[in-house]
Amino acid sequence: MSAIEFTAPSGKTFVIAEVRDPSNNYTLLASSISATEITAFRYRASLGSLSGLVWIKATAGATSVVGFADLENPDATTGHSEVYDVPPVDVSADVNAIRAKTDLIGTGQAFTNAMVSPAGRFAAPIAIGDDYLASNSRAFEWTIDPIVGFVRGDVVVRIGFKMRKSCGTVYSFSGSGSVLEVGDKWKVRCELTDAAAGQPPGMYDWSVELSVGSVEITRIQNLTDATRVRVIEKQT
């Protein structure tokens, strides 16, 4: 059984008004499917035996959510397919890895620990309220080329996360970091304490900023929906 999840304003009664096949002139596949608010701001709906890439439109009065869901590749953690603003890239795994690297700003990025994938993405969802610290081998690390004109010891590192909803509401949280020297490269290490406290689950854009004085440079950032990070609730 296929199911989708999406983020929307809390406290509403959403119905999946349309499920369509984008590969076949957006032929209508299903309609009038109830969605359930499983946690604040997060909704889930079962699409039965439907499969493949689908386009959906969910409505609750004047509020609507539209997007694409890949029913063949559900989230490994939840078992459900996230609804994205744009369709997932339908290419081979190898090409996806290459694309992921080009979707991140900066050069010389590399796999450095279990929290960041070889492509520079977050390797797993961020759990609201968890601590991601180097002392527990849970910091997020990227390897980049040194920034010309910056002295490593003077660099201030900030990591920020933001989710903008179609209704205009913006949710955000942030953390800090440091820069280590590894051979001729810099390792950017970011930590979070009480991650995303008070924020709803969902898909967040993110970026890492390095600054010295008034000079700010963003070297690592997601540029597509596919490289957002998923923020989830934990059950404790």
Q: How much of the chain exceeds pLDDT 90, in percent?
A: 47
> For 184-198, what is each residue's pLDDT tens digit?
999 999 999 999 999
Which of the given ranges, 115-119, 163-167, 175-179, has the highest pLDDT on average?
A: 175-179
> What is the rounded distance in angstroms from the CA atom of residue 190 to the CA atom of residue 206?
12
Q: Which two tokens stand for residue 96?
A: 């996806």
Contact status, residue 159 vs residue 174, Cβ threshold 8 Å = yes
> For 34-75, what is each residue's pLDDT tens digit?
999 998 888 999 999 999 889 889 999 888 888 888 898 888
Phi and psi at 224, nearest 5°, equal -135, 165
Domains recognised in the chain with CATH numbers? 2-82 (no CATH), 93-232 (2.60.40.10)
